[in-house]
Amino acid sequence: MSKQMQISVPVRAPTWVSTRRIFQQKLQDLHKCTSLNHIKQVHAQILKQNLHQDLYVAPKLISAFSLSQEMTLAINVFKQIPDPNVHLYNTFIRACVQNSHSLLAFETFFEMQRNGLFADNFTYPFLLKACDGQSWLPLVKMIHNHLEKYGFFQDLFVPNSLIDSYCKCGLLGVKSAMRLFKVMDERDVVSWNSMIRGLLKVGELSEACKLFDEMPMKDAVSWNTILDGYVKAGEMNKAFGLFESMPERNVVSWSTMVSGYCKAGDMEMARMLFDRMPVKNLVSWTIIVSGYAVKGLAKDAIRSFEQMEEAGLKPDDGTVISILASCAESGLLGLGKRVHTSIERIRYKCSVNVSNALVDMYAKCGQVDRALSVFNGMSKKDLVSWNCMLQGLAMHGHGEKALQLFSIMRQEGFRPDKVTLVAVLCACVHAGFVDEGIRYFNNMERDYGIVPHIEHYGCMVDLLGRGGRLKEAYRLVQSMPVEPNVVIWGTLLGACRMHNAVGLAEEVLDCLFKLEPSDPGNYSLLSNIFASAGDWSSVANVRLQMKNFGIQKPSGASSIEVDDEVHEFTVFDKSHPKSDKIYQMINRLGLDLKRVHVVPKVYL
């Protein structure tokens, strides 16, 4: 936290030059300042002094706004400058990258070239960062060409960054990286590590191991990278062997192992290693808490979270986001709330990403009201925030509310993406707005420039199918530009079952069995169709077939959380200690339902 700086404008500013000098001193730490109010005050004073176009002052302001995630303000400052120099362009491009405005970063870069300015060795690394997570292989190649043309290859940092960026562009990228790696006449340990990491990312474990063996020098990162390779491949025995044989083990090595055992579901082993760790940091604690949370072990998760805080560690954004994501995955409202209070105790304001994770967690745990109150309290929202909230509303049947929120979102100038439209269509499905859904679907390309993906088709099949328009749904599936997958056929089949359309169902099942001949779900769907049509001999037949093929349907489970404990139930499950009482209650509910003439459907 930087110290608060008081900008005092002298009562009698002697000359313009000296005013500027005073500002220079006061502005020195502005780009590190985290108090938005303070930055705004300074901005106002700068405007008053007419210094906002100054080529020393403007970059400081842009950096400061960028750090506070105030990209709109940063853009405003930048736009005021008539003739930006390279330094200013770099600062602005860096701000774009920091706030994940990757497109704007490149647009600015192209504008800079149009203005006849040359990018320098500061510009390119920023641009490479902008390609992160975008899979912009052509742009990485373009940067590569530029760097070669202008001879920026002296420092190993440049080709190493290129290797890393290439490796983030999938298989083709890794191949380009390999070509570059092979022609480099000098390589350091980072070059090797990055290349190995890239191979692992595309699943080339054996290639990575080969390179690892060839390495002339290995550091801790090299060992940990290859260890992670084994862990990600699920080879815990090999990983453990390597772990034992490592020349030195640091926090990362230990954490990687703990994470591996958590993913394998072996929480006992995970805990044992965790307890033996000589040093634990935030990441290690996050791994163990999330590990318990994903498995639904709410009590252990909460206890570990509290132990972490007792150890004097304050969860950061990464910790909070991962734990909340695990809560959302397994519905651990208790832990989610506990993390929320902890954040509120530490911080005055959450970052956008943390708030998004909170919205998502509350929505997925069924607490739509809490999700809404976090969402409404957010001072800044991004596309992810809207998408989480829309999805939450749609998922819980608040279709109308979701569509209202969608129109507010557009009023506020947000451009919907494909996730948004899935949520919108899903809202129509759950609210039964068939015609409205069709309208959104037909116009999504024209209105939002989004070509329908398979997920959107899935929503439409669901929408038409539930509405009883089975023929239209079937026609849509046949006319799809992409091959229908299991989800699409399954959805259509579900609709057939709902409307007792046995004829169409058998047709659909043919397609489904061709795609997934051994999926037990298909058999139970088939059996359920026959069951709803009252064809019990066919049902028996299907069950017999399943038995012959040795197929067992993994039974679906439902779970509820009571007092920080998750109880899971499957069909005919008698394992719960209060099983008798539970079945008594079910029977009573069944009688109550009969009394109001509702006949419960029973499926396989």
Partner DNA sequence: AGTTCATAAT
Smallest separation (angstroms) from DNA to the CB of 101: 14
Smallest separation (angstroms) from DNA to the CB of 347: 15
E strands along 416-572, which residues?
558-562, 565-569
Which residues lie closer than 8 Å to 517 by C-beta, 6 or more apart? Answer: none
Tokens 């047709």 label which residue?
Answer: 507
- Find the helix or strand (DSSP H, E) in which 461 lies: helix 454-466
Nearer to DNA, 49 or 66 (CB): 66
Nearer to DNA, 200 or 495 (CB): 200
Smallest separation (angstroms) from DNA to the CB of 351: 8
End-to-end Cα, the chain, rounded Å? 60
Which residues lie closer than 8 Å to 278 by C-beta, 6 or more apart? Answer: 254
Cα separation, 338 vs 561, whole angstroms:
15
Nearer to DNA, 262 or 526 (CB): 262
* Sign of the alpha-carbon dihedral angle for 391, 393, 396, 398: negative
Task: Name the token pair of 188.
Answer: 């350091």
Nearer to DNA, 70 or 228 (CB): 228
Nearer to DNA, 322 or 342 (CB): 322
Smallest separation (angstroms) from DNA to the CB of 38: 18
3-state secondary structure of 202: coil
Smallest separation (angstroms) from DNA to the CB of 243: 13
Smallest separation (angstroms) from DNA to the CB of 259: 5
Smallest separation (angstroms) from DNA to the CB of 295: 13
Task: Name the token pair of 152.
Answer: 């920026």
Count CA atoms within 13 Å of residue 379 on its CB side.
8
Spacing of C-alpha 408 from chain mean position: 24
Nearer to DNA, 139 or 508 (CB): 139
Nearer to DNA, 319 or 367 (CB): 319
List residues binding DNA (CB under 7 A).
31, 59, 63, 86-87, 90-91, 94, 120-122, 125, 155-157, 160-161, 164, 189-190, 193-194, 197, 219-222, 224-225, 228, 250-252, 255-256, 259, 281-284, 286-287, 290, 316-319, 321-322, 325, 353, 356-357, 360, 384, 388
Nearer to DNA, 2 or 541 (CB): 2
Which residues lie closer than 8 Å to 504 by C-beta, 6 or more apart? Answer: 470, 474, 492, 496
Nearer to DNA, 61 or 438 (CB): 61
Report how far apart, in Å, the C-alpha atoms of 323 and of each of 263, 294, 332, 571 are.
14, 9, 10, 30
Which of the 8 DSSP states describes residue 314? Answer: P
Per-position DSSP letters for 233-277, written without gaps between them: TT-HHHHHHHHHH-S---HHHHHHHHHHHHHTT-HHHHHHHHHH-
Cα separation, 462 vs 456, whole angstroms:
10
Tokens 């805990």 label which residue?
Answer: 271
Helices (H), 311-382: 317-330, 333-346, 352-364, 368-376
Which residues lie closer than 8 Å to 483 by C-beta, 6 or more apart? Answer: none
Nearer to DNA, 189 or 515 (CB): 189
Smallest separation (angstroms) from DNA to the CB of 132: 9
Smallest separation (angstroms) from DNA to the CB of 277: 10
Smallest separation (angstroms) from DNA to the CB of 322: 4
For helices 137-149 and 123-130, what crossing angle results, to 10°? Answer: 170
Nearer to DNA, 192 or 457 (CB): 192
Report how far apart, in Å, the C-alpha atoms of 449 and of each of 415, 426, 512, 575, 587 are.
10, 19, 32, 52, 53
Nearer to DNA, 163 or 531 (CB): 163
Smallest separation (angstroms) from DNA to the CB of 25: 13
Cα separation, 234 vs 260, whole angstroms:
8
Which residues lie closer than 8 Å to 320 by C-beta, 6 or more apart? Answer: 339, 343, 354, 357
Nearer to DNA, 134 or 353 (CB): 353
Nearer to DNA, 59 or 494 (CB): 59
Smallest separation (angstroms) from DNA to the CB of 214: 16
Smallest separation (angstroms) from DNA to the CB of 151: 15
Smallest separation (angstroms) from DNA to the CB of 296: 16
In this structure, the number of other CB atoms found within 10 A of the CB of residue 366 comes to 15
Cα separation, 479 vs 139, whole angstroms:
35
Smallest separation (angstroms) from DNA to the CB of 364: 9
Cα separation, 259 vs 285, whole angstroms:
10
Task: Name the token pair of 506.
Answer: 């058998």
Cα separation, 330 vs 564, whole angstroms:
12
Nearer to DNA, 252 or 301 (CB): 252
Q: Whose CA is closest to 355, among 319, 321, 404?
A: 321
Cα separation, 201 vs 195, whole angstroms:
10
